[in-house]
Amino acid sequence: MSGNTFGNLFAVTNFGESHGPAIGCVIDGCPPGMALSEADIQGDLDRRRPGTSRHVTQRNEPDAVEILSGVYEGKTTGTPICLLIKNTDQRSKDYGNILDTFRPGHADYTYLHKYGLRDPRGGGRSSARLTAPMVAAGAVAKKWLFEKYGTTFRGCMAQIGEAMIPFESWEHVANNPFFAPVADVSNLENYMDALRKAGDSCGARIRVVASGVPVGLGEPLFDKLDADIAFAMMGINAVKGVEIGAGFASVTQRGTTHGDSLSPEGFMSNNAGGVLGGISTGQDLEVSIAIKPTSSIITPRQSIDTAGNPAEVVTKGRHDPCVGIRATPIAEAMLALVVMEHALRQRAQCGDVKVSTPDIMRSRG
């Protein structure tokens, strides 16, 4: 209700601030009997964590996860799983100069107006650091969905600033710091180096795909699968747009081309992005998101202070010049949480979940 719990049947309650003692989450509703250890979670956290290349924030956080509850003798018990990640590298002094001004494009302004006070250390609760517990929770969901239905989740970078990134292969994604599905990322490296030198930041576009999704997931009117995906994606820090399947391209499509034809072997295209009428078709879920440029930049900006007087704002500290770069594992995790929630709902209402058959053609992958 106050916005810190995601999901209902697989409910993840997130807590912590960027510079407090710890961040974490409590997962309520994980089915019992699944093998689970920290090692199952740490991998995705490592993909998201800062300090792994010169293109992301240099904050050095191991982001080591601890399981505090809900697992007994290596198996989930069906009771709440508390995951704790201690904060180890908080340099609050870097933020001293923004205590009483508002960064353009930042949540400083709205937090203060909403609550009447705010924690300025590293953005406090508005920090993208709070996505780490979601990546951890998503890893738990991914594991259950894979073991149960063979569902997998993959994401990649589709565009950094003006640089469009063609899709070559999923295999390249793990081999470069950009999650780019291409063999050669030298142009991206040059782009980012120039940007950083300019003291500026840029946006990005991420593509996320779930494969092996059961058919029949999603509620038809409001908790449509695609509506929940949009909710999950737009809830990631800095996201400004979400597309399912053909997305905005469907505006100029005709009904004769947009509607995915069927043959006895399955769907023949995937403009739907795996969702019809709010319910999964069993095809790949195809999601695309737009991420805005980081608001914390060292170039001076025109703003005001909390008294309403003009002020020039410069953000020091260690920031990502393109927050989109580390967003890929986050988007995967959020998509996994949505699918997990709806798989459990489907079990509740309809008693079982049907694993989909492979479709013969996937439009965009």
C-beta of 50 vs 273, nearer to a second copy: 273
Q: Cβ neighbours of residue 162 under 8 Å, at least 6 residues apart?
A: none
Task: Give binding residues as ranges.
Answer: 48, 54, 125-127, 237-238, 277, 292-296, 318
Tokens 């201690």 appear where? 86
C-beta of 170 vs 231, nearer to a second copy: 231
C-beta of 86 vs 170, nearer to a second copy: 86
What is the helix (H) or strand (E) element at residue 149, kind and residue range?
helix 132-149
**Spatial CA neighbour of 44 closest among 179, 169, 220, 240:** 179
Minimum CB separation of residue 187 from a second copy in Å reads 15
- Per the DSSP assignment, residues forming a β-bridge with 26 are 13, 82
Tokens 């950009």 appear where? 178
Q: Cβ neighbours of residue 209 under 8 Å, at least 6 residues apart?
A: 153, 154, 155, 284, 285, 286, 287, 365
Q: What is the 3-state secondary structure (H, E, C) of 293-359?
A: CCCCCCCCEEEEECCCCEEEECCCCCCCCCHHHHHHHHHHHHHHHHHHHHHHHHHHHHCCCECCCCC
Count the neighbouring beta carbons within 10 Å of the beta carbon of residue 8.
12
Minimum CB separation of residue 197 from a second copy in Å reads 13
CA separation for the pair 317, 257 (Å, rounded): 50
C-beta of 176 vs 346, nearer to a second copy: 346
Minimum CB separation of residue 177 from a second copy in Å reads 19
For residues 122 and 19, is the Cβ–Cβ distance under 8 A?
yes
Q: Coil, strand, or helix at residue 185?
A: coil
Minimum CB separation of residue 236 from a second copy in Å reads 9
Minimum CB separation of residue 148 from a second copy in Å reads 9
C-beta of 54 vs 113, nearer to a second copy: 113
Minimum CB separation of residue 154 from a second copy in Å reads 20
Task: Give binding residues for NADP(+) as ranges.
Answer: 48, 54
C-beta of 175 vs 220, nearer to a second copy: 220
